[in-house]
Structure 1
């Protein structure tokens, strides 16, 4: 199962959804690679609902008589003419969360939060020949019972995604895919530009994207976009964030293209935010650029994924100089019962936002994945001024069931800088004194793919704050999440 995890940076619970679930021994039916999350990339496992809906491939249903298709498959392939078909699908997700201190004490008074998230989706995917498609996804997102509102959980009926893809073949082994509209855009490992799957509404962008793919050799992904702002006032009222943009280039070589079993990525991101906030500074316009590289791969037993990023630019009149190093690796024992994997995840995100010399040292991920650190949605801390180490053990009692456990330890990278909130990237708790230790967490995740269409997930996290974190006004906390997800 970690093949899926390490080739895209997807968490074990997500990899379960991407992998096939028809009963068969692992040795007899190895897990195929996950889809490439780019326009024109490798399609997902055929006839299988996916986490990223536009990676799905239902074209093989053309060879199955309508009477022989499963009930829900009848909507996934509707022929309209020769080489033209429409695919209809959807999603219904319920997510119950319980948190005793959602903001770890940063919010005055009671910061407990118990919510029920409801995510509903309907999608239509029109394929006109092999090189043209139009994709539309509508969403309705509600949150019930909350004491503290999370904006990405509330969004009345709106357009989640709406884009057109045009693929231009270049010879026999290359192509250029052009995408325009509103879309999800996970990149690389998903650490820095991810999905925000822990909330009802994922990160969305509108603009243009072009992907050049030289099959088996190199892929170049260029984009000019503006992030979408969630508005819950009326239906169909979401639009671009004022004054913001997110542009960049992501270049990758497939695993094994240059070195057997190894993949390599390089990238450049250009982000603009208005009214950005950092510890010790007033709100300002932020122009933050990121350059980075990623090396990842696996052997029969070992897997690894290491990534480094350097950031520069300007925060108001101050200069940005920040950095990050991110790693995940493990040792797999597929021949043992429960196919255990022993792994470790470690991250270093620079801090230092109140430098006397006018230089900002606080790293800030553009659109970080959620889950952020551990495998749950208790996203208390952002990818800023933090060092964390997370040893973990995962087991698979069956092909459909995955369990992961482990402790996680947190330190501030710079004692002069604050901790930062994951939902907003704003300063959270400023620990007392010069002690950099923030606390530790105990984590449990259970993912069960009950059927091809229905999945369940349970997470529990207990955060124990350090004395310095408590001295700065922080608190210990726990989080419990119970999720059911039906996709067709």
Structure 2
């Protein structure tokens, strides 16, 4: 067992120093301050220029969000951070007999500073520190990164007016688009994902268009040792626009290109270049909400043609007039698998850089070669407490292809089984926001193995429990 606690304490003085520099204490906070905008998942997308106005809504610790460095306040510094403490427990992880149980304590610390220069430029720096204790066999590949630069970029804003403008961002940065099915900052795992590259974003005439070219940043466990993965390229164009003919409706149109010198599938490994063309239709209509997405992928794998696809849907209805405001939802997804391992052409869909907890925090399966049906019930006992109950059934789309984990690693080859039925999973979660800064989260899951797993290797049912507390400021 690795003992990392003494070194893990090195990040705590940084957090204390960040709070002391805020210039605002809890005792100074008004009793009932107006509500400012909520924090965002991508902290670099927050904009605190509204705090220049004397009557702007303020909350405790907002003194650290706007620290003017000039008399006019057009040059200012904004500070913030995230702390997450998570304990998780697995019984029979990866369906195996041993270890019977596996417990881990995951710690995440992130601090950032955002320097705004006359509304025309920004310099953003974010440090990260991730630690894992007690994990059987040691930390996993996304469990630990003791100290590193997570984001460091310069952003130029040559033109900006109201809700329109042009941004050019150069350096290490997070990327996330749409519903995070294909491009995500990877919030679920202990260490988030960033990219080294350039991104331009144009907002005009109700269009929001981003173009980018980047390399993913590798997660290394040491100190300041992360760097771009030069064997994997990533570029693309992503556009979002509301549909005027359908109030509340929006459409995403995108192209995402990737290259990978070391791609691996059940068929084998080789060089891959993949082009993804997709669209997403999403929005609300009365009590209904919907999110429909389709992607076609073409390219080459080991010199042979590549053709893959996926269709995903998430539709729900909220009974707003009933107690607890229940939302009844149904997700149904399918992604292609390889039809013949002996044929050099490849049909396995690649989700590129998806969120790490695609099918829940249990994190057993990834969105490759699968079909799923996923009904959801969501309840709101209070405005800040959300309870969710879910059931998910999993099938293989192609019996000639295997099962893949969230990171794309092949976790179970096809082994000649003709069964599509992988298993099913139940999941219960509770999320409670305590004020503006603290969130409590708990989940309990069980995965029941199906015919394919029982006929191809270890097939113990998997139990998973997780509890976390997150502080954001």
Give me the TM-score of the superposition, normalised by structure 1: 0.85
CA displacement 1:441-479 (0-9 Å, x = unmatched): 011111000120000111111000013311211422111
Q: How far off is 1:244 after superposition? A: 1.1
Q: Matched residues in 2 for 1:481 and 1:157: separation?
A: 24
**Aligned residue for 1:482?**
467
**Cα distance 1:405–1:474, how it changes in 2: closer, same or farther (>3 A)?**
same
Q: Retained in 2: the 8 A contact 1:80–1:86?
A: yes
Q: How does 1:78-117 map to 2 (within 5 A)?
A: 78-81=67-70, 82=72, 83-105=74-96, 109-110=98-99, 112-117=101-106
SS at match of 1:152: coil
Q: Matched residues in 1 for 2:198 and 2:277: separation?
A: 21
Q: How far off is 1:432 after superposition? A: 5.9
Q: Retained in 2: the 8 A contact 1:86–1:127?
A: yes
Q: How does 1:197-216 map to 2 (within 5 A)?
A: 197-215=187-205
CA displacement 1:56-113 (0-9 Å, x = unmatched): 23233333599x96552221111101211101111111011111233233xx953743
Q: Matched residues in 2 for 1:158 and 1:310: separation?
A: 36
- The answer to whether structure 1 residue 268 and structure 2 residue 285 are counterparts is no
Q: Retained in 1: the 8 A contact 2:326–2:380?
A: yes
- The answer to whether structure 1 residue 129 and structure 2 residue 114 are counterparts is no
CA displacement 1:123-161 (0-9 Å, x = unmatched): 101111223111110111111111143212210211011
**Cα distance 1:163–1:460, how it changes in 2: closer, same or farther (>3 A)?**
same
Match among 442, 447, 452 for residue 458 of structure 1 = 442
Match among 401, 406, 417 for residue 433 of structure 1 = 417
- The answer to whether structure 1 residue 244 and structure 2 residue 244 are counterparts is no
Q: How far off is 1:219 after superposition? A: 1.9
Q: How far off is 1:237 after superposition? A: 1.1
Q: Matched residues in 2 for 1:273 and 1:141: separation?
A: 27
Q: Retained in 1: the 8 A contact 2:266–2:413?
A: no
Q: Retained in 1: the 8 A contact 2:356–2:407?
A: no
**Cα distance 1:432–1:474, how it changes in 2: closer, same or farther (>3 A)?**
farther
**Cα distance 1:445–1:393, how it changes in 2: closer, same or farther (>3 A)?**
same
Q: Matched residues in 2 for 1:439 and 1:198: separation?
A: 22
Q: Retained in 1: the 8 A contact 2:247–2:285?
A: no
Q: How far off is 1:220 after superposition? A: 1.6
Number of corresponding residues: 439
**Aligned residue for 1:42?**
none
Q: How far off is 1:172 after superposition? A: 7.2
Q: How far off is 1:336 after superposition? A: 1.2
Q: Retained in 2: the 8 A contact 1:46–1:56?
A: no
Q: After the TM superposition, which segments of 4 or more aligned residues of structure 1 sit over 6 Å from their partners? A: 170-173
Unaligned runs of 5+ in 2: 1-29
Match among 123, 132, 141 for residue 130 of structure 2 = 141
**Cα distance 1:73–1:420, how it changes in 2: closer, same or farther (>3 A)?**
same
Q: How far off is 1:118 after superposition? A: 0.5
Aligned-pair Cα RMSD in Å: 2.4
CA displacement 1:295-347 (0-9 Å, x = unmatched): 11211111111000011111213221110001000111111110110000111
**Cα distance 1:257–1:110, how it changes in 2: closer, same or farther (>3 A)?**
same
SS at match of 1:153: coil
- The answer to whether structure 1 residue 423 and structure 2 residue 410 are counterparts is no
Q: RCO greater where, 1 or 2, for CA within 8 Å and sep 6 or more?
A: 1
- The answer to whether structure 1 residue 196 and structure 2 residue 181 are counterparts is no
Q: Matched residues in 1 for 2:323 and 2:297: separation?
A: 44
Larger-Rg structure: 2
- The answer to whether structure 1 residue 378 and structure 2 residue 368 are counterparts is no
- The answer to whether structure 1 residue 279 and structure 2 residue 266 are counterparts is yes
**Aligned residue for 1:17?**
none
Q: Retained in 2: the 8 A contact 1:308–1:326?
A: yes
**Cα distance 1:23–1:271, how it changes in 2: closer, same or farther (>3 A)?**
farther
Match among 298, 301, 315 for residue 284 of structure 2 = 298
Q: Matched residues in 2 for 1:48 and 1:250: separation?
A: 25
Q: Retained in 2: the 8 A contact 1:364–1:425?
A: no
**Aligned residue for 2:64?**
75
SS at match of 2:403: coil
Q: Retained in 1: the 8 A contact 2:182–2:354?
A: yes
Q: Retained in 2: the 8 A contact 1:288–1:313?
A: yes
**Aligned residue for 1:321?**
307
